[in-house]
Amino acid sequence: MRDEIISRLRFWLMRQNPAATDYEITPDTDIIETGILDSLQLVEFILLVELEAGKRILSEHIDGTWLRTLGGIYDHFFAVDAEAA
């Protein structure tokens, strides 16, 4: 489950940013610092995460620490649901 979700998020990032192919996007890659995800793409990416997770992300829950890596995003929004299943 984890690999599948991270793979879909990674695919979106690579489609949106052709320069992303210059990086190996791992679950621990800082997608903000590397420039893989820029400020203009951030809103669209959050919408994608909401669609994948099946729940809304409230602005007060947006935190730069978990949003920096695909692993952090998975752990914050998907892992709890996966463990309950």
pLDDT at 85 over 70: no
Q: What is the pLDDT of residue 72?
A: 93
Residue 68: per-residue pLDDT = 92
Fold of domain 2-84: 1.10.1200
Position 84 scores a pLDDT of 47
pLDDT tens by residue, 19-71: 777 678 999 999 999 999 988 899 999 999 999 989 888 777 777 778 899 99
CA-to-CA distance for 45 and 29, rounded, in angstroms?
Answer: 16
- Alpha-carbon span 31 to 67, nearest angstrom: 8
pLDDT at 82 over 60: no
- The answer to whether 15 and 21 are in contact (CB under 8 A) is no
Q: What is the pLDDT of residue 67?
A: 86
Domain boundaries, the chain: 2-84
